Amino acid sequence: MPTFCANLTMLFTEYPLIERFGAAKDAGFDVVEILFPYDNPAQEMRSALIKHDLKMALINTPPPNWAGGDRGYAAIPNGEKRFQYDFKRTLRYAQLLKPTHIHIMAGRAKGAVARATFIENLKWAAMQAPKQSLTIEPINPTDIPGYFLHDFDQAAEILDAVDAPNVNLQFDAYHAHMITGDLPATWSRHGHRAVHIQIAGAPGRHEPDIGDIDCAGFFKQIDADGYKGFVSGEYHPKGRTVDGLEWVKL
Protein backbone atom coordinates (compact mmCIF):
# COMPACT_ATOMS: atom_id res chain seq x y z
CA MET A 1 0.00 0.00 0.00
CA PRO A 2 1.42 3.41 -0.94
CA THR A 3 2.10 6.15 1.57
CA PHE A 4 -0.54 8.73 0.77
CA CYS A 5 -0.02 12.48 0.85
CA ALA A 6 -2.46 15.40 0.89
CA ASN A 7 -1.94 18.36 -1.42
CA LEU A 8 -2.93 21.26 0.81
CA THR A 9 -3.23 23.68 -2.08
CA MET A 10 -6.19 21.73 -3.47
CA LEU A 11 -7.52 19.71 -0.52
CA PHE A 12 -9.18 20.99 2.66
CA THR A 13 -9.82 24.36 1.07
CA GLU A 14 -12.76 24.69 3.47
CA TYR A 15 -10.10 26.04 5.81
CA PRO A 16 -7.39 28.72 5.64
CA LEU A 17 -4.08 27.20 4.56
CA ILE A 18 -2.52 27.05 8.01
CA GLU A 19 -5.56 25.16 9.36
CA ARG A 20 -5.33 22.56 6.59
CA PHE A 21 -2.32 20.96 8.27
CA GLY A 22 -4.42 19.90 11.24
CA ALA A 23 -7.33 18.91 9.02
CA ALA A 24 -5.05 16.64 6.99
CA LYS A 25 -3.67 15.01 10.13
CA ASP A 26 -7.18 14.47 11.49
CA ALA A 27 -8.11 12.79 8.20
CA GLY A 28 -5.26 10.30 8.58
CA PHE A 29 -2.46 11.85 6.51
CA ASP A 30 1.11 11.98 7.81
CA VAL A 31 2.52 13.69 4.71
CA VAL A 32 1.48 16.88 2.93
CA GLU A 33 2.59 18.99 -0.02
CA ILE A 34 1.98 22.60 -1.07
CA LEU A 35 2.28 23.83 -4.63
CA PHE A 36 3.31 27.41 -3.84
CA PRO A 37 3.93 28.20 -0.15
CA TYR A 38 5.34 31.67 -0.72
CA ASP A 39 2.34 33.73 0.36
CA ASN A 40 2.67 32.36 3.91
CA PRO A 41 5.53 32.75 6.39
CA ALA A 42 7.79 29.70 6.23
CA GLN A 43 8.21 29.63 9.99
CA GLU A 44 4.44 29.52 10.49
CA MET A 45 4.17 26.49 8.21
CA ARG A 46 7.16 24.84 9.85
CA SER A 47 5.45 25.24 13.22
CA ALA A 48 2.28 23.66 11.80
CA LEU A 49 4.28 20.70 10.48
CA ILE A 50 5.89 20.17 13.87
CA LYS A 51 2.64 20.68 15.80
CA HIS A 52 0.79 18.07 13.77
CA ASP A 53 3.75 15.72 13.26
CA LEU A 54 3.64 16.02 9.48
CA LYS A 55 6.27 15.65 6.78
CA MET A 56 6.45 17.96 3.74
CA ALA A 57 6.70 15.93 0.56
CA LEU A 58 7.02 18.63 -2.07
CA ILE A 59 6.90 22.30 -2.96
CA ASN A 60 7.06 23.89 -6.41
CA THR A 61 9.43 26.45 -7.81
CA PRO A 62 8.98 28.95 -9.43
CA PRO A 63 6.81 31.07 -9.30
CA PRO A 64 4.64 32.03 -6.32
CA ASN A 65 1.85 33.52 -8.44
CA TRP A 66 -0.14 30.56 -9.72
CA ALA A 67 -3.37 32.39 -10.45
CA GLY A 68 -3.03 33.92 -13.87
CA GLY A 69 0.76 33.87 -13.83
CA ASP A 70 3.39 32.04 -15.80
CA ARG A 71 4.00 28.37 -14.99
CA GLY A 72 7.69 28.59 -14.26
CA TYR A 73 10.78 29.95 -15.95
CA ALA A 74 13.18 27.04 -16.26
CA ALA A 75 12.70 26.59 -20.03
CA ILE A 76 12.20 30.25 -20.91
CA PRO A 77 15.07 31.60 -23.04
CA ASN A 78 16.63 34.70 -21.47
CA GLY A 79 14.79 33.96 -18.22
CA GLU A 80 17.77 32.42 -16.47
CA LYS A 81 18.24 35.24 -13.96
CA ARG A 82 14.60 35.13 -12.91
CA PHE A 83 14.76 31.34 -12.59
CA GLN A 84 17.90 31.51 -10.45
CA TYR A 85 16.40 34.20 -8.23
CA ASP A 86 13.22 32.18 -7.66
CA PHE A 87 15.11 28.94 -7.12
CA LYS A 88 17.22 30.52 -4.39
CA ARG A 89 14.03 31.79 -2.78
CA THR A 90 12.63 28.27 -2.83
CA LEU A 91 15.77 26.94 -1.18
CA ARG A 92 15.27 29.40 1.66
CA TYR A 93 11.77 28.00 2.19
CA ALA A 94 13.12 24.48 1.90
CA GLN A 95 15.56 25.11 4.74
CA LEU A 96 12.57 25.41 7.08
CA LEU A 97 9.94 23.19 5.43
CA LYS A 98 12.40 20.43 4.51
CA PRO A 99 10.47 19.07 1.52
CA THR A 100 11.54 15.70 0.20
CA HIS A 101 11.26 17.10 -3.34
CA ILE A 102 11.28 20.44 -5.13
CA HIS A 103 9.40 20.48 -8.42
CA ILE A 104 11.02 22.73 -11.03
CA MET A 105 8.42 24.06 -13.46
CA ALA A 106 9.44 24.54 -17.07
CA GLY A 107 7.02 27.25 -18.16
CA ARG A 108 5.44 27.94 -21.53
CA ALA A 109 8.01 27.64 -24.31
CA LYS A 110 8.94 25.51 -27.32
CA GLY A 111 11.84 24.67 -29.56
CA ALA A 112 15.50 23.78 -29.34
CA VAL A 113 16.55 26.91 -27.48
CA ALA A 114 13.94 26.28 -24.79
CA ARG A 115 15.15 22.68 -24.47
CA ALA A 116 18.77 23.81 -24.06
CA THR A 117 17.72 26.46 -21.53
CA PHE A 118 15.76 23.92 -19.49
CA ILE A 119 18.65 21.47 -19.42
CA GLU A 120 21.19 24.09 -18.38
CA ASN A 121 18.92 25.48 -15.67
CA LEU A 122 18.33 21.98 -14.31
CA LYS A 123 22.06 21.31 -14.26
CA TRP A 124 22.64 24.60 -12.46
CA ALA A 125 19.93 23.84 -9.88
CA ALA A 126 21.27 20.33 -9.29
CA MET A 127 24.70 21.77 -8.48
CA GLN A 128 23.24 24.48 -6.25
CA ALA A 129 21.43 21.91 -4.10
CA PRO A 130 23.19 18.57 -4.58
CA LYS A 131 21.50 16.98 -1.54
CA GLN A 132 17.99 18.12 -2.47
CA SER A 133 15.77 15.94 -4.65
CA LEU A 134 14.52 17.91 -7.65
CA THR A 135 11.76 16.81 -10.01
CA ILE A 136 10.33 17.63 -13.42
CA GLU A 137 6.76 16.82 -14.41
CA PRO A 138 5.10 16.49 -17.82
CA ILE A 139 1.84 18.47 -17.84
CA ASN A 140 -0.90 17.86 -20.36
CA PRO A 141 -1.54 20.57 -22.97
CA THR A 142 -5.28 20.71 -22.25
CA ASP A 143 -4.72 22.01 -18.71
CA ILE A 144 -1.74 24.23 -19.57
CA PRO A 145 -1.52 24.94 -23.31
CA GLY A 146 2.00 25.66 -24.46
CA TYR A 147 3.72 24.17 -21.42
CA PHE A 148 7.18 23.11 -22.53
CA LEU A 149 7.35 19.72 -20.79
CA HIS A 150 4.26 17.98 -22.14
CA ASP A 151 5.37 14.40 -22.88
CA PHE A 152 6.92 11.56 -20.87
CA ASP A 153 9.36 10.50 -23.58
CA GLN A 154 10.49 14.12 -23.76
CA ALA A 155 10.99 14.16 -19.98
CA ALA A 156 13.06 10.97 -20.12
CA GLU A 157 15.29 12.41 -22.83
CA ILE A 158 15.82 15.61 -20.81
CA LEU A 159 16.63 13.67 -17.63
CA ASP A 160 19.23 11.69 -19.56
CA ALA A 161 20.72 14.93 -20.89
CA VAL A 162 20.86 16.51 -17.42
CA ASP A 163 22.35 13.31 -15.97
CA ALA A 164 22.18 14.45 -12.34
CA PRO A 165 21.37 11.94 -9.58
CA ASN A 166 19.17 14.44 -7.73
CA VAL A 167 16.97 15.33 -10.74
CA ASN A 168 14.24 12.79 -11.46
CA LEU A 169 10.68 12.30 -12.66
CA GLN A 170 7.53 13.50 -10.93
CA PHE A 171 4.83 11.18 -12.25
CA ASP A 172 1.33 12.61 -12.25
CA ALA A 173 -1.20 9.88 -13.04
CA TYR A 174 -3.82 12.41 -14.12
CA HIS A 175 -1.47 14.07 -16.59
CA ALA A 176 -0.24 10.66 -17.79
CA HIS A 177 -3.81 9.63 -18.59
CA MET A 178 -4.58 12.94 -20.29
CA ILE A 179 -1.38 12.82 -22.36
CA THR A 180 -1.29 9.17 -23.38
CA GLY A 181 -4.69 7.68 -22.57
CA ASP A 182 -2.91 4.65 -21.12
CA LEU A 183 -1.73 5.16 -17.54
CA PRO A 184 -0.55 1.55 -16.92
CA ALA A 185 1.59 1.50 -20.05
CA THR A 186 3.03 4.94 -19.34
CA TRP A 187 4.01 3.82 -15.85
CA SER A 188 5.53 0.61 -17.23
CA ARG A 189 7.68 2.67 -19.60
CA HIS A 190 8.69 5.50 -17.26
CA GLY A 191 7.84 4.54 -13.69
CA HIS A 192 11.39 3.44 -12.89
CA ARG A 193 12.38 7.13 -13.04
CA ALA A 194 9.65 8.30 -10.67
CA VAL A 195 10.46 9.56 -7.18
CA HIS A 196 7.06 11.18 -6.50
CA ILE A 197 3.53 10.42 -7.69
CA GLN A 198 0.44 12.63 -7.82
CA ILE A 199 -3.03 11.39 -8.68
CA ALA A 200 -6.49 12.67 -9.55
CA GLY A 201 -9.51 11.38 -11.41
CA ALA A 202 -9.76 11.96 -15.14
CA PRO A 203 -11.49 13.72 -16.71
CA GLY A 204 -12.43 16.50 -14.32
CA ARG A 205 -9.50 16.26 -11.88
CA HIS A 206 -11.71 15.29 -8.97
CA GLU A 207 -11.27 12.39 -6.53
CA PRO A 208 -8.96 9.66 -7.93
CA ASP A 209 -11.72 7.04 -7.81
CA ILE A 210 -14.05 9.16 -9.97
CA GLY A 211 -13.60 8.84 -13.72
CA ASP A 212 -11.66 6.69 -16.15
CA ILE A 213 -8.54 5.96 -14.09
CA ASP A 214 -8.42 2.61 -12.29
CA CYS A 215 -6.62 3.96 -9.25
CA ALA A 216 -6.90 0.69 -7.30
CA GLY A 217 -5.22 -1.10 -10.20
CA PHE A 218 -2.59 1.63 -10.44
CA PHE A 219 -1.79 1.32 -6.73
CA LYS A 220 -1.33 -2.44 -7.16
CA GLN A 221 0.91 -1.82 -10.17
CA ILE A 222 3.24 0.59 -8.36
CA ASP A 223 3.33 -1.69 -5.31
CA ALA A 224 4.30 -4.64 -7.50
CA ASP A 225 7.06 -2.54 -9.05
CA GLY A 226 8.46 -1.67 -5.63
CA TYR A 227 7.70 2.06 -5.66
CA LYS A 228 8.55 3.45 -2.19
CA GLY A 229 7.75 7.17 -2.59
CA PHE A 230 4.63 9.14 -1.73
CA VAL A 231 1.35 9.21 -3.66
CA SER A 232 -0.25 12.62 -3.34
CA GLY A 233 -3.89 13.41 -3.88
CA GLU A 234 -3.73 16.52 -6.06
CA TYR A 235 -7.31 17.14 -7.11
CA HIS A 236 -10.34 19.37 -6.71
CA PRO A 237 -12.79 17.68 -4.32
CA LYS A 238 -16.37 17.55 -5.54
CA GLY A 239 -17.52 18.41 -2.02
CA ARG A 240 -15.96 18.46 1.43
CA THR A 241 -12.53 16.85 1.30
CA VAL A 242 -13.23 14.39 4.11
CA ASP A 243 -16.29 13.09 2.29
CA GLY A 244 -14.23 11.97 -0.70
CA LEU A 245 -11.32 10.05 0.81
CA GLU A 246 -12.46 6.52 0.00
CA TRP A 247 -9.63 6.30 -2.55
CA VAL A 248 -7.03 6.03 0.20
CA LYS A 249 -8.66 2.75 1.30
CA LEU A 250 -8.47 1.02 -2.09
Residue 234 bears catalytic tag: yes
Residue 14 bears catalytic tag: no
DSSP, collapsed to helix, strand or coil, labels residue 163 as: coil
Rounded (5°) CA angle 189-227-199: 75
Q: What is the dihedral of CA 38, 124, 135, 167, to 10 degrees?
A: -150
Rounded (5°) CA angle 150-153-154: 55
Catalytic residue selected from 33, 120, 234, 246: 234
DSSP, collapsed to helix, strand or coil, labels residue 57 as: strand
Nearest to 134 by CA among 193, 205, 67, 215: 193
Query: For residue 102, what are the β-bridge partners?
Result: 59, 134
Distance of alpha carbon 12 from alpha carbon 15, whole angstroms: 6
Catalytic residue selected from 14, 19, 44, 137: 137
For 199, left (φ over 0), alpha (ψ -120 to 50), or beta?
Answer: beta
**Cα radius of gyration (the chain):** 17
- Most distant pair of Cα atoms in the chain: their distance: 48
- Residues 117-133, buried b or exposed e (16+ Cβ, 10 A)? bbbebbeebbeebeebb
- The residues assigned a catalytic role are 137, 234
